[in-house]
Protein backbone atom coordinates (compact mmCIF):
# COMPACT_ATOMS: atom_id res chain seq x y z
CA UNK A 1 0.00 0.00 0.00
CA UNK A 2 2.93 2.33 0.68
CA UNK A 3 4.07 2.30 -2.96
CA UNK A 4 0.57 3.05 -4.28
CA UNK A 5 0.19 5.95 -1.86
CA UNK A 6 3.57 7.31 -2.86
CA UNK A 7 2.73 6.92 -6.57
CA UNK A 8 -0.54 8.78 -6.01
CA UNK A 9 1.25 11.62 -4.22
CA UNK A 10 3.82 11.83 -7.01
CA UNK A 11 1.06 12.09 -9.63
CA UNK A 12 -0.39 15.01 -7.67
CA UNK A 13 3.01 16.70 -7.57
CA UNK A 14 4.07 15.77 -11.12
CA UNK A 15 0.93 15.34 -13.24
CA UNK A 16 2.93 14.58 -16.37
CA UNK A 17 3.89 11.14 -14.97
CA UNK A 18 0.26 10.04 -14.59
CA UNK A 19 0.04 8.47 -18.08
CA UNK A 20 3.21 6.44 -17.42
CA UNK A 21 1.95 5.12 -14.09
CA UNK A 22 -1.52 4.39 -15.49
CA UNK A 23 -0.03 2.56 -18.48
CA UNK A 24 2.25 0.52 -16.23
CA UNK A 25 -0.67 -0.61 -14.04
CA UNK A 26 -2.82 -1.37 -17.11
CA UNK A 27 -0.06 -3.54 -18.58
CA UNK A 28 0.56 -5.45 -15.33
CA UNK A 29 -2.57 -5.58 -13.21
CA UNK A 30 -0.72 -7.59 -10.56
CA UNK A 31 1.81 -4.80 -10.02
CA UNK A 32 -0.16 -2.99 -7.29
CA UNK A 33 -0.73 -6.25 -5.40
CA UNK A 34 1.51 -7.64 -2.71
CA UNK A 35 2.25 -10.61 -4.97
CA UNK A 36 4.86 -8.44 -6.69
CA UNK A 37 8.02 -7.68 -4.77
CA UNK A 38 8.51 -4.31 -3.12
CA UNK A 39 11.47 -3.75 -5.42
CA UNK A 40 9.44 -4.45 -8.58
CA UNK A 41 6.64 -2.13 -7.48
CA UNK A 42 9.09 0.62 -6.51
CA UNK A 43 10.97 0.31 -9.81
CA UNK A 44 7.86 0.31 -12.02
CA UNK A 45 5.65 2.80 -10.17
CA UNK A 46 8.16 5.28 -8.74
CA UNK A 47 11.65 5.15 -10.22
CA UNK A 48 10.83 4.48 -13.88
CA UNK A 49 8.16 7.23 -14.19
CA UNK A 50 10.38 9.77 -12.42
CA UNK A 51 13.53 9.05 -14.40
CA UNK A 52 12.59 11.37 -17.31
CA UNK A 53 12.01 14.19 -14.80
CA UNK A 54 15.80 14.36 -14.30
CA UNK A 55 16.33 15.38 -17.94
The range of the structural domain enclosing residue 29 comes to 2-54
pLDDT in tens, 15-54: 999 999 999 999 998 888 888 999 999 999 999 988 876 5
User: pLDDT at position 40, please?
Assistant: 92
For 10, the 3-state DSSP assignment is helix
What was the pLDDT predicted at 21?
Answer: 92
Count of the separate structural domains present in the chain: 1
Full 3-state SS string of 22-49: HHHHHHCCCCCCCCCCHHHHHHHHHHHH
User: Is 11 in contact with 35 (CB distance < 8 Å)?
Assistant: no
Cα separation, 17 vs 4, in Å, equals: 14
HSE of 14 in the Cβ direction (CA atoms, 13 Å)?
14
pTM above the 0.75 mark? yes
Amino acid sequence: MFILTLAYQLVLAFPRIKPDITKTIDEDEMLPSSEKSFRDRMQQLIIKPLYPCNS
